[in-house]
Every structure is written in structure tokens, then in C-alpha cells.
């Protein structure tokens, strides 16, 4: 989902948002620094395989995913990180590592860390390694309807 398509989706749903352009960065913490966004507000997307199904997890850039805790939280038998070859084709037009946290638009479950709810806003890659979108966390939840679980 290229940036334009995501922006259209947000506009169609009457969501207020800001697009933040920054120099290209590759890790979530580099992106937060480059865009001058606090690491706890910037969400990173980590793709996982939960019992054979591709799923999206969304957590603060400053945190690391705990696969065992995710497994317990969702009641799964197996949870592993997905490799790029397993999910790259699911995100046409997105740069690798810059998938927006809208797994619902790509036909997959979205699990979000409760840590993100601690802030009023959420920022995330918009399909590009040089653009972020910032919007209200409440609007994000309304659009995505993620499952809030600890991981």
C-alpha cells in the first residue's frame, strides 16, 4: 500500500493526520531520531507466523518483541518471526521494513502492544523509509480494530 493509497484511506474515514518526511532511515530508532518523534510514539511493525498464519504485531520502536509472551497471550502453539520472503509480496508498493500497521487492509490479524495506548498519538512508516504518518491512537484503533495483547 503506497503512501497515497494509505492517505486516501485515512481521508475516506475522516481521519486527521500529519505526514512527516525525513531522510531515509532503516531501523525504528533511527527513524524516530530522524523524524524527531519520540521512540515510544513511533510504532514498528514486526511480522510473525502464529500457528502457520502470517500476522502483524505493532509495538513501540523502543521495545523488542517477546515471542514467548506473544505465544502465551494469544494461546498459540507456535510463534516465530517471519522472514522477508514470506511477507514481502503481501505489501505491494511498500519498501521492505516500512509496512504500515494496517494488517487488516492486507487480510491479516493485527496485535498491538498495550504500551502504545499510553500515548495520545501514534506514528508509523507509511510504506516508505522516508515518510511517517502521525495520527490519534484512538483513530488508529477505530480503523484497525487490533487485538491488544502483551508481547
* Domains of the chain, start order: 3-148 (3.90.960.10)
Rounded CA-CA distance 108/5 in Å is 18
Number of H helices, E strands in the chain: 5, 8
pLDDT of residue 151: 95
pLDDT of residue 110: 98
Does this model's pTM top 0.75? yes
117 burial type by CB count under 10 A (0-12 exposed, 13-18 middle, 19+ buried): middle
Does residue 24 surpass a pLDDT of 80? yes
DSSP state of 116: G
Place of cell 506514528: 123
Rounded CA-CA distance 21/151 in Å is 30
Rounded CA-CA distance 40/122 in Å is 9
* CA-based torsion, 29, 47, 129, 126: positive or negative: negative
Query: Which neighbouring-strand residues pair with 110?
Result: 56
pLDDT of residue 30: 82
32-76 confidence digits (pLDDT tens): 888 888 877 899 999 999 999 999 999 998 899 999 999 999 999
Rounded CA-CA distance 21/129 in Å is 9
Q: What grid cell was written down for 125?
A: 512508516
Count of positions (residues) in the chain: 151
Amino acid at each position: 500500500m503506497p503512501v497515497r493509497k494509505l492517505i486516501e484511506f485515512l481521508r475516506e474515514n475522516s481521519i486527521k493526520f500529519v505526514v512527516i518526511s525525513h531522510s531515509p532511515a532503516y531501523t525504528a530508532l533511527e527513524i524516530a531520531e530522524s523524524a524527531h518523534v519520540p521512540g515510544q510514539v513511533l510504532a514498528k511493525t514486526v511480522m510473525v507466523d502464529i500457528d502457520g498464519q502470517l500476522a502483524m504485531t505493532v509495538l513501540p520502536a523502543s521495545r523488542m518483541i517477546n515471542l514467548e509472551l506473544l505465544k502465551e497471550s494469544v494461546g498459540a502453539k507456535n510463534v516465530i518471526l517471519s522472514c522477508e520472503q514470506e511477507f514481502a509480496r503481501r505489501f505491494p508498493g511498500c519498501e521492505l521494513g516500512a509496512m504500515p500497521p494496517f494488517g487488516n487492509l492486507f487480510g491479516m490479524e493485527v496485535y498491538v502492544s498495550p504500551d502504545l495506548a499510553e500515548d495520545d498519538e501514534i506514528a508509523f512508516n507509511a510504506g516508505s523509509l522516508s515518510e511517517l504518518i502521525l495520527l490519534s491512537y484512538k483513530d488508529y484503533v477505530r480503523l484497525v480494530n487490533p487485538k491488544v495483547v502483551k508481547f
